[in-house]
Amino acid sequence: MTAPAPASAPETAAPAALAGITVLDLSSVGPAARAGRMLADYGATVVKVAPVPRNAGVQIQPPFYAYSGHRDMQRVQIDLKANDGRAAFLALAAHADVIIESFRPGVVSRLGIDYEAVRAVNPGIVYCSTSGYGQTGPAAQWAGHDINYLAVGGYLDCSERAPGDKPPLPGATVADSAGGGMQAVMGILAALVGRATTGVGAYLDVAIAEGVLVLMGLYIDEYLATGTEPGPGHYILTGRYACYDTYRCADGKWVAVGAIEANFYRNLCRLLGCDQWADHQTDDAAQDAIRTDFANVFATRSRDDWVAELAPADTCVSAVYTVAELVEDPHLAARGVIAEATHESAGTFRQLGTVLAGTDTSRTAFAVRDTSHTDTDELLVAAGLDVAAVAALHEGGVVA
């Protein structure tokens, strides 16, 4: 069950931020699909452009619940390799504001639907290409996934090592989500703001690996300015001090401690009965002893007992939740972050709601369509094709 928003939360009847913006999203998974998801949550009309059924194997088909089930999106199926299919896509593109694609560099040019082709029919288009390493450069054609971009961006090397000095596998797709998807959304929104002033669209070359560099900017800039090479345990945020670490509790569960500020650290020492360490927060020689004492104290009580005492007391202590735990957290429930969705064949299930600032966070229920449904006919007619022309495209297997 989800709880209503707090009574003190301001109410607004303002239209969705991206109402009136149309996005053609040619992706099925990955960073581009995340970008499409976010734009839809901000109110854009997002149209998923998928292959016709006979070519569907060229795209990964995510499960019905992935990417929030593509809620609030429309769908068109077009054979982009066919001349008539390319023409149909360009007819849609002529009326769109944004195009997102995630093919390997060069593919959209071969298909005849690249930025130049679209700009010829729509000079105001914002065309966003997402790829692992960018559209140019020696690595442009390399295949990769989240772990590869985190690896080349220094993220894995600066993270705490597993036994055997093994770089860790991250618990979330940080590169795909932040390095790629959010980078794409920021670029698109900036380009739309620019277009509102100039009337000119833009081409965006979103390189996911370069988005990871932005996430690692503190460490990269430090190295470039000082020559000091970062790594695990180098800095307060990467495990140098006991005040920023995780500790196991009596029930085998964990707490996270982020007491960076001196006053928060002193509060923590006092409540743990470790006042002897209050003046040694950044004393490198004392860190092993501090960690040992902290670990021994945390091991005397359950995680939730510690969190109940420490979290409200300005200590920067929180529970290390499992996913199953976090979706039942009372604070998140009070914020209304979990919504209910209904799928015609999968039934009713819960999913993450519209939680990003500026989206309609009051929504608690969504309908999720099966991917067998398309809006092809309505969208093509709205783009200027007559009914007979659309019927001919169906007859030729160009659209579905």
In angstroms, rounded to a whole number, what is the distance separating the alpha carbons of residues 96 and 23?
Answer: 6
Other Cβ atoms less than 10 A from the Cβ of 35: the count is 30
Question: Is the pLDDT assigned to residue 3 strictly greater than 50?
Answer: no
pLDDT tens digits, residue range 49-107? 999 987 666 667 889 999 999 999 999 999 999 999 999 999 999 999 999 999 999 99
Q: How far apart are CA 77 and CA 57, in angstroms?
A: 13
In this prediction, residues 302-322 reach a mean pLDDT of: 98
Output the pLDDT for position 59: 66
pLDDT at 304 over 70: yes
Higher per-residue pLDDT: 358 or 15: 358
CA–CA gap between residue 225 and residue 96 (Å, rounded): 44
pTM for the model stands at 0.91
Name residue, tokens 């939360």. 9
Tokens of 347: 């039934």
Task: Catalogue the E-assigned strands of 236-381.
Answer: 244-248, 254-258, 317-319, 338-343, 347-352, 365-368
> Cα(306)–Cα(254) distance, rounded to whole angstroms?
10
Q: Are 22 and 15 in contact (CB under 8 A)?
A: no
Task: Establish how many alpha carbons lie within 13 A of residue 92's alpha carbon, considering only the half-sphere containing its beta carbon.
Answer: 32
Question: What dotted CATH number matches 236-248+254-319?
Answer: 3.30.1540.10
**Is the pLDDT assigned to residue 397 strictly greater than 80?**
yes
Summarize the confidence of residues 334-361 as an average pLDDT. 94
CB within 8 Å of 191: residues ≥ 6 apart:
126, 201, 202, 204
> In angstroms, rounded to a whole number, what is the distance separating the alpha carbons of residues 193 and 190?
5
Question: What pLDDT sits at residue 1?
Answer: 34
Residue 372 has pLDDT above 60, yes or no: yes
- Amino acid residing at 352: L
Percent of the chain with pLDDT over 90: 90
Handedness of CA 118, 120, 122, 123 (dihedral sign): positive
Residue 57: predicted pLDDT: 60
Average pLDDT over residues 147-166: 93
Mean pLDDT over the full length of the chain? 94
Q: What are 197-240's pLDDT values in tens digits?
A: 999 999 999 999 999 999 999 999 999 999 999 999 988 999 99
Residue with tokens 């729509």: 122
CA distance 364 to 18: 20
For residue 362 the two structure tokens come to 């009051």
State mean pLDDT over 348-354: 96
Domain locations along the chain: 22-215+371-395, 236-248+254-319
Structure tokens at 84: 């008539």
Residues 380-400, mean pLDDT to the nearest whole number: 96
Among residues 140, 95, 192, 103, the alpha carbon closest in space to that of 114 is found at 103
- Point out the residues that are catalytic: 145, 176
Burial category of 65 from C-beta neighbours within 10 Å (exposed 0-12, middle 13-18, buried 19 and up): middle
What distance in Å separates the CA atoms of residue 265 and residue 123, rounded to the nearest whole number?
A: 56
Whole-number pLDDT of residue 56: 60
pLDDT given for residue 14 in this prediction: 66
- The Cα–Cα gap between 52 and 76 comes to 9
CATH topology for 22-215+371-395 is Rossmann fold (3.40.50)
The structure tokens listed for 374 are: 């398309």
The pLDDT of residue 5 is 44
| Residue 27 CB coordination number (10 Å) | 23
- Confidence check: pLDDT of 2 > 90: no
Kindly write down the DSSP assignment for every residue of 90-135, as one continuous string. HHHHTT-SEEEE-SPTTHHHHHT-SHHHHHHH-TT-EEEEEESS-S
Task: For 29-50, write each residue's pLDDT tens digit.
Answer: 999 999 999 999 999 999 999 9
